[in-house]
């Protein structure tokens, strides 16, 4: 699949822009569509807290500092996005976000990922997984990490990549694996990582798509057919 042409379909960037109950409605993704919302985790975190459910607030209470703010903004923002789909206020969205599980809402499939100041939130009607990593977060022991995490085919690709590109090559495999695990709702462990080969764009039932977010991030999505078309949208917080 040509990921770039998918991303070029980007429409309505910044919609919904409003956080109030007059947020515009957004058509739900059709069977072939996946919406990926890009959410910057900046702004007034407190403005989001009132829309969170009691269970989300319990999770929030266990967090401190930046982690707390980013949780409030990401979960508050996904409530607003879902409110625009479901035509209700953010607070009334019947969203569940249990720890160690993907977010759930009746009638839609969701996946959330965050890295530093950026979150991606994927919405589809069939199972979807999305993952993002920052390119400045790669460990020094890259070769060791690659041997511990990559399949034989991925490791061959990695070892034939020029040294200056190896970090990005490893991250590309990493986000593709995490996207698959998320679409399958599985956790991550080192043993299964080497067995999970993402060097091709098809992994069993899932189709893999690399998302181009520029030089500072690497991201991928795993889609369940018939989903085949990704629309990237920007969430904008008007409080900043």
Which residues are near ligand COA by CB under 6 A? 71, 74, 97, 100-103, 112-114, 131, 178, 181-182, 185-188, 190
Pick from 49, 52, 46, 9: nearest CA to 29: 9
Least distance to ligand COA from the beta carbon of 162, Å?
Answer: 27
DSSP letters along 24-89, please? PP-PPP-TTEEEEEEEE--S-THHHHTTS-HHHHHHHHT--HHHHHHHHHHHHHHHHHHHHHHTS-
Q: Give the residue carrying structure tokens 């569509």.
A: 33
Q: Which is nearer to ligand COA, 109 or 164 (CB)?
A: 109
Q: Which is nearer to ligand COA, 100 or 214 (CB)?
A: 100
Pick from 106, 96, 152, 102: nearest CA to 131: 102
Least distance to ligand COA from the beta carbon of 11, Å?
Answer: 25
Q: Which is nearer to ligand COA, 186 or 238 (CB)?
A: 186
Q: Which is nearer to ligand COA, 190 or 240 (CB)?
A: 190
Q: Which is nearer to ligand COA, 5 or 168 (CB)?
A: 168
Q: Give the residue carrying structure tokens 């499939």.
A: 109
Least distance to ligand COA from the beta carbon of 130, Å?
Answer: 8
Q: Which is nearer to ligand COA, 24 or 62 (CB)?
A: 62
Least distance to ligand COA from the beta carbon of 149, Å?
Answer: 9
Pick from 22, 19, 26: nearest CA to 44: 19
Least distance to ligand COA from the beta carbon of 127, Å?
Answer: 9
Pick from 21, 4, 93, 86: nearest CA to 52: 93
Describe the strand order of the beta sheet including 118-124 as a list of residue ranges. 109-115, 118-124, 33-40, 229-235
Least distance to ligand COA from the beta carbon of 22, Å?
Answer: 27
């Amino acid at each position: 699949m040509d990921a770039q042409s998918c991303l070029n379909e980007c429409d309505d960037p910044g919609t919904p822009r409003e956080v109030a109950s007059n947020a515009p409605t957004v058509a739900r993704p059709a069977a072939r569509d996946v919406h990926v919302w890009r959410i910057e985790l900046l702004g007034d975190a407190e403005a989001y807290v009132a829309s969170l459910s009691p269970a989300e607030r319990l999770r929030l209470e266990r967090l401190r500092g930046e982690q707390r703010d980013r949780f409030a903004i990401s979960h508050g923002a996904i409530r607003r996005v879902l409110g625009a789909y479901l035509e209700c206020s953010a607070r009334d969205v019947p969203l569940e976000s249990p720890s160690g599980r993907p977010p759930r809402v009746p009638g839609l499939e969701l996946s959330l990922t965050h890295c530093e100041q950026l979150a991606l939130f994927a919405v589809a009607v069939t199972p979807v997984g999305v993952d993002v990593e920052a390119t400045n977060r790669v460990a020094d022991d890259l070769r060791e990490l690659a041997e511990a995490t990559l399949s034989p085919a991925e490791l061959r690709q990695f070892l034939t990549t020029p040294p200056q590109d190896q970090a990005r090559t490893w991250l590309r495999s990493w986000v593709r694996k995490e996207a698959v695990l998320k679409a399958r709702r599985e956790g991550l462990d080192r043993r299964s990582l080497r067995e999970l080969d993402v060097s091709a764009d098809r992994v069993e039932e899932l189709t893999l798509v690399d998302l181009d977010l520029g030089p500072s991030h690497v991201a991928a999505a795993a889609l369940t057919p018939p989903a085949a078309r990704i629309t990237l949208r920007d969430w904008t917080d008007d409080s900043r």
